[in-house]
Amino acid sequence: MGQETTNQTWVSEFILLGLCSDWGTQVVLFVLILAMYLVTIVGNSLILILIRLDSRLHTPMYFFLSVLSFVDLSYGNSFAPQTLVHLLSAQKRIPFKSCVLQLCASLGLGGSEFFLLAVMAYDRYVAVCYPLHYTVIMHGGLCLGLAAGCLVAGFSNSLMETIITFQLPLCHNVLNHFACETLAVLRLACGDISFNKVMVAISGFLVIILPCSLVLLSYARIVAAILCIRSAHGRHKAFGTCASHLTVVCMCFGATVFIYLGPRSASSENKEKMVALFYAVVAPMLNPLIYSLRNKEVKAALGKLLEKFR
């Protein structure tokens, strides 16, 4: 086979090495991931149903929460079913087109979630700092525009990164990951990936650093406003409206920063897989739990819904 043919990217499928090679561990992981996936489906679907049915939750904060639940639900579906099947399969294969689609979807949904978390921080900033003008500022048109903008920004970045990644010539098709992920695919390249590294860095800035900076700025203003409240009860109530969102922000941004900005080492690939698994399976499960367990209005809406079935 000539050199010209060897360097082509004409592969029909990728072979995934998965999370581990031990059968017993794979069975345990299958049970754990299946349980978390089911909680993800039920939890996020329940959030969407509650917000849709309870008029008390028809506010900007819960509108953005419903969009977040939809994104988490979609993100979980883009990874978990395939991962579950592969954990019980001897050959972990994924067609080339499916790999491209999975990478594009995961990057788009992940990026959209980061932008959405920044928008939710802005929503909390307006609620705490301008409570009397909150409904006027966060009107329906603005909320729809911000949510749509998050999705457009996330998938625009995803499309660009996906196209650039899969234009590379690949040396082989064995992917050391449990799913198609940018850094894992770049390791298969036999050409110069300097441009791709620059683009990944730019993408990381736009999708991670920029939204994170907006979140930090919003919370800096929120903290300053809370400290000006004289009543201890008032300060506690104001902070309570932000606690759930702040918990999700720390969890989501922390995991991604660890992947892309953490120090590189010989075990980096395994660490990337573990953190990617956390973000793809665990985070979408925890988000609805965090918001429901810490939110009196969501729990009240759930109680009202359960009363109808008694």
pLDDT, tens digit (0-9, with 9 covering 90-100), for 217-242? 998 888 888 888 777 777 777 677 67
In a domain, 234, yes or no: yes
Mean pLDDT on 38-56: 90
Indicate the angle between helix axes 283-293 and 23-53, nearest 10 degrees. Answer: 40
Average pLDDT, the chain: 84
In a domain, 5, yes or no: no
In a domain, 295, yes or no: yes
Quick: pLDDT tens for 83-99: 999 998 888 899 999 99
Residue 123, C-beta contacts closer than 8 angstroms, at least 6 positions apart: 60, 61, 64, 138
CB atoms within 10 A of CB 149: 14
- Contact between 87 and 29 under an 8 Å Cβ cutoff? The reply is yes
Reported as a pLDDT band with limits 50, 70 and 90, residue 12 is confident
In a domain, 7, yes or no: no
Reported as a pLDDT band with limits 50, 70 and 90, residue 264 is low
Per-residue confidence (pLDDT) for residue 225, from 0 to 100: 84
Per-residue confidence (pLDDT) for residue 260, from 0 to 100: 56
Mean pLDDT on 155-176: 90
| Count: domains in the chain | 1
Reported as a pLDDT band with limits 50, 70 and 90, residue 2 is very low
Host domain of residue 112? 13-308
Reported as a pLDDT band with limits 50, 70 and 90, residue 6 is very low
In a domain, 274, yes or no: yes
In a domain, 32, yes or no: yes
Residue that wins the pLDDT comparison between 202 and 274:
202
Reported as a pLDDT band with limits 50, 70 and 90, residue 5 is very low
Per-residue confidence (pLDDT) for residue 42, from 0 to 100: 92
Q: Which residue has the tokens 């900007």?
A: 60
Name the pTM for this structure: 0.87
Distance CA 271, CA 266 (A): 10
> Which CATH number do you get for residue 87?
1.20.1070.10
Q: Is it the case that residue 261 has pLDDT exceeding 60?
A: no
CB atoms within 10 A of CB 252: 24
In a domain, 8, yes or no: no
Q: What are the tokens at 274?
A: 């573990």
In a domain, 104, yes or no: yes
